[in-house]
Chain A
Amino acid sequence: MSSVDRDVRFTFDGRELAAEPGQTVGAALVTNGVTAWRGTRKEGRPRGLFCGIGVCFDCLVTVDGVANQRACLVELCEGMDVRGTLAGDETEETR
C-alpha cells in the first residue's frame, strides 16, 4: 500500500503511528510492526492477535481510556489513543 493511503493517525503507548482507513486497531498495530501489546497477568508474557475474530480475548487493548477492548474488532479512528499492557504497566483488569 502507498504511504498516501495510510492517513489515519493514532498513538500507541504515546507513539505516533498511521494506518489505512477501515482497518481494525489490531491490524493497524500489526502492519506497523507491533506484534504484541498485552502482557499476561501471571507471567507478563507478550500477546497479540490470535483468533482474529473476537473469540479469544488475547488481543485486549485500552482504547481512548476504555480498557479490555478486542483490538481485532475495534475499527481504528483518527486520533485514537491506544494503549497496551506490555510495558511493565499492569493495568489489565480482572473480572
Chain B
Amino acid sequence: MSDLTVDVAVVGAGPAGLAAAVAAAEAGAVVAVVDAGTQTGGQFWRHRPETGDADPDGHGHHDWNTFLDLRRRFRAGIAAGRVHHLPGLQVWMASKNDVDGFTLRTTRTVVGGEGVTPTVHAARLVLCPGGYDRQLPVPGWDLPGVMAAGGIQAFIKANGALPGKRFVVAGTGPFLLPVAANIAEAGGEVLAVLESSSLSKWFPHWKAAASVPGKALEGAEYAGIFARHRIPYKTRSIVTAVSGTDRVQTVSWAKADADGRAIPGTGGRYEDVDVIGFGWGFTPQMELPLSFGVQTRLDADGSLVAVVDERQESSVPGLFLAGEVTGVGGAVLAVLEGKAAGTAAADASAVVLPADVLPAKEAARRDRHRRFAQAMHQAHPVPHAWQEWLTPETLVCRCEEVPVSEVTQARSTLGAEDSRSLKSFTRVGMGWCQGRVCGFAGSCLGAGPGEPAAAASLASAAKRPLAVPVPISELASLND
C-alpha cells in the first residue's frame, strides 16, 4: 500500500477545498488534496475536460476568475512540491489517532488506473466535501428524465451538451435560476421554473439581502436571461406528479397555498417534457465529518451541519471543515471559509488567532454571506405540507424501491420515527446511495406530517460505515 505523509490533508477540490489547499501551502505546509473529480473545481466550477480544452473561458460560470486564480496558485504549489494533488479518488474511511494524526484510505472514483490507491497520513485535516441537491419525493420521480437540478447543470458544464430538449425546473431557492439559465443558454427550452415559495418571503430579510449586492447583480443577470428566452417563472407553484411510460412525458403542476399544499383546480400540465430537474436546497455531505463524531446542529434550512469555531475548527482538535458542511451558503462563502481553514490548519502550534486566518475585511464579507444564506433558507423553506403531495405508491427510497405506504405503516404500527428504525423495518436508505437521496425525506416522514426532520435522525441517515462503496480488495488490504 502506497502511503503519503503530509502536514495537512484536504478532501475536496471545489471552492472551499481549493482555497484551503492554496492557503495551507502558501503558509508553508506540505499539503495533499484528495478529490473525487479528475480536475479541480468541484461541482460549482465543473467544466469540460482540460485535456480537450486547456483554457475554457468559463462561460456560464460565476466567479470564474476566482477559480483561475486559485488554480494558478494551486499549480504553483504543485510545482514547488508543497501540494500533492490526488484526483479521481474518494475517501472511503477516515480515522484519527493520537500518535499518527489523521489517516485517509482512498478508492478510485471510477474504474481504471493501475496499482494501489494511496493512503494519506496528515497531522491536520480539512474536509470540504460540499453538498448535492436535496430531494423530496413526488409521484413519478423515479422515472428516467427526472433529474436533480444540479445534475442537469453538471451535465451541461461537463459535457457541453443537453440531456434533452424540453425542460421544467422545480423546487425552491435561487439555485433554480442558474440551472434554467444554463439550459436556455445551451439551447434548451425551459417550459417553466416552478418555485414553491413566494418571493415576499424575502421582505423580512431585505437587510441581509442588500448587504450582498453581488447576489442582486446575479439576480438581474438571470432576469435578463429569463426575459430573453421567455422563461415563465411561477412562484407558489409545485409539481404534483410526473408521469409517462418508462420515461418522463407529462409534468402536472398546481399553485400552492402558504404551506405548500396544492390548490385544487389550479395549475395544469406540461406535455412532451424530456427532463424535469428538482432542487430543494442542498444536502451537505456529512459522512466524513460524522465519522469523527463532530458536534452538529440543525441549520435554518433543516440540514444537519457541523459546528465550527472562527478558525473553522470542528469539535475534534485538528479537524477543520469548510464549505457546505458548516452551513449551505454558496461558493463565495466556501472560498472564504476554505482560506480560513487552510491557514489555521497550516499552523502546527494551533495557536493562530481568528484574526490571523482571515483579514477583517474578508471576515466581514464572510459574515455578510452567512447572513444572506440564513435569509435565503428562510425565504425558500421546504414546504411545510410537502408530505401531502405523496401517494401511497410514491417511492421514498429509489434504491430499495420502498413506497410511502410502507414507511407510514412502519411509523404508525411499529413506532419507527427515525431513519435508523425505518431502515431496519423497511430498508429505506439501505441501497446503493446509502440514504444520500432519501435521508432527508425519510427523516421527515418518520417525524410525521408537517414535522421537521430531527437532527438525530438526519445524523443516523448520514452515518455510513464506509463513506463510499469500496471493492473487497480495499477492505482486505487493511490487514497489510
- Chain A interface residue count: which class? 35 or more
Decide yes or no whether B160 CB sits under 8 A from chain A. yes
Decide yes or no whether A18 CB sits under 8 A from chain B. no
Pair A56/B109 contact, Cβ less than 8 Å: no
A36–B147 CA distance with the chains assembled, in angstroms: 12
Instruction: Name the interface residues of B130-146: CB closer than 8 Å to any CB of A.
Output: 132-133, 142-146
Query: Could you mark each residue 13-38 of chain A with 1 if its beta carbon is under 8 Å from any beta carbon of chain B, else 0?
Result: 00000001111101100110001100
Decide yes or no whether B357 CB sits under 8 A from chain A. no
Do A52 and B52 contact each other (CB < 8 Å), given the known contacts A23-B159, A58-B398, A60-B432? no
A49–B275 CA distance with the chains assembled, in angstroms: 10
Pair A52/B147 contact, Cβ less than 8 Å: yes
A42 proximity list for chain B (CB < 8 A): 400-401
- Chain B interface residue count: which class? 35 or more
Pair A49/B163 contact, Cβ less than 8 Å: yes
B97 proximity list for chain A (CB < 8 A): none
Pair B437/A46 contact, Cβ less than 8 Å: no
Pair A73/B109 contact, Cβ less than 8 Å: yes
Decide yes or no whether B477 CB sits under 8 A from chain A. no
Residue among B144, B145, B150, B246 with the highest chain A CB neighbour number at 10 A: B144
Decide yes or no whether B399 CB sits under 8 A from chain A. yes
A75–B269 CA distance with the chains assembled, in angstroms: 36
A69–B432 CA distance with the chains assembled, in angstroms: 12
Min CB distance B416 to A, Å, is 20
Pair B145/A22 contact, Cβ less than 8 Å: no
Decide yes or no whether A87 CB sits under 8 A from chain B. no
Instruction: Name the interface residues of B46-93: CB closer than 8 Å to any CB of A.
Output: 48-49, 51-52
B51 proximity list for chain A (CB < 8 A): 22
Pair A64/B150 contact, Cβ less than 8 Å: no
Do A47 and B151 contact each other (CB < 8 Å), given the known contacts A23-B161, A55-B433? no
Min CB distance A81 to B, Å, is 12
Query: Looking across the interface, which residue of chain B has its beta carbon closest to that of A75?
Result: B49
> Interface residues, chain B, CB within 8 Å of chain A?
36, 38, 43, 48-49, 51-52, 109-111, 132-133, 142-148, 150-152, 154-155, 158-161, 163-164, 246-247, 398-401, 431-433, 436-437, 469
A78–B469 CA distance with the chains assembled, in angstroms: 27
Query: Looking across the interface, which residue of chain A has its beta carbon closest to that of B142?
Result: A45
> Beyond the given A27-B158, A43-B401, could you list 10 further A-B residue pairs with CB under 8 A, ordered by the A residue number?
A27-B163, A49-B155, A51-B150, A53-B148, A53-B150, A53-B151, A54-B109, A56-B398, A56-B436, A57-B431
Pair B152/A52 contact, Cβ less than 8 Å: yes
Residue from A41, A68, A72 in contact with B151 in the complex, judged by beta carbons closer than 8 Å: A72
Min CB distance A22 to B, Å, is 4
Query: Looking across the interface, which residue of chain B has its beta carbon closest to that of A70?
Result: B110
Do A52 and B144 contact each other (CB < 8 Å), given the known contacts A24-B159, A27-B158? no
Min CB distance A51 to B, Å, is 5
Pair B150/A27 contact, Cβ less than 8 Å: no
Residue from A52, A58, A74 in contact with B155 in the complex, judged by beta carbons closer than 8 Å: A52
Pair B246/A49 contact, Cβ less than 8 Å: no
A64–B48 CA distance with the chains assembled, in angstroms: 23
Residue from B38, B48, B246 in contact with A36 in the complex, judged by beta carbons closer than 8 Å: B246
Main secondary structure of the interface of A (DSSP, over half): loop
Min CB distance B303 to A, Å, is 15
A41 proximity list for chain B (CB < 8 A): 401
Pair B154/A52 contact, Cβ less than 8 Å: yes
Pair A50/B151 contact, Cβ less than 8 Å: yes
Residue from A30, A48, A51 in contact with B148 in the complex, judged by beta carbons closer than 8 Å: A51
Pair A53/B111 contact, Cβ less than 8 Å: no
Decide yes or no whether A91 CB sits under 8 A from chain B. no
**Nearest 3 pairs of A and B residues by beta carbon:** A52-B151, A57-B432, A27-B159
A73 proximity list for chain B (CB < 8 A): 36, 109-110
A89–B146 CA distance with the chains assembled, in angstroms: 24
Decide yes or no whether A4 CB sits under 8 A from chain B. no
Pair A53/B132 contact, Cβ less than 8 Å: yes
Pair A75/B163 contact, Cβ less than 8 Å: no
Query: Looking across the interface, which residue of chain A has its beta carbon closest to that of B42?
Result: A53
Residue from A22, A26, A53, A56 in contact with B48 in the complex, judged by beta carbons closer than 8 Å: A22
Pair B433/A21 contact, Cβ less than 8 Å: no
Min CB distance B246 to A, Å, is 5
Pair A1/B147 contact, Cβ less than 8 Å: no
Do A46 and B111 contact each other (CB < 8 Å), given the known contacts A20-B160, A51-B151, A53-B132? no
Query: Looking across the interface, which residue of chain A has its beta carbon closest to that of B401?
Result: A42
Do A75 and B38 contact each other (CB < 8 Å), given the known contacts A45-B142, A51-B437, A57-B399? yes
A31–B431 CA distance with the chains assembled, in angstroms: 28
A53–B159 CA distance with the chains assembled, in angstroms: 12
B132 proximity list for chain A (CB < 8 A): 51, 53, 55
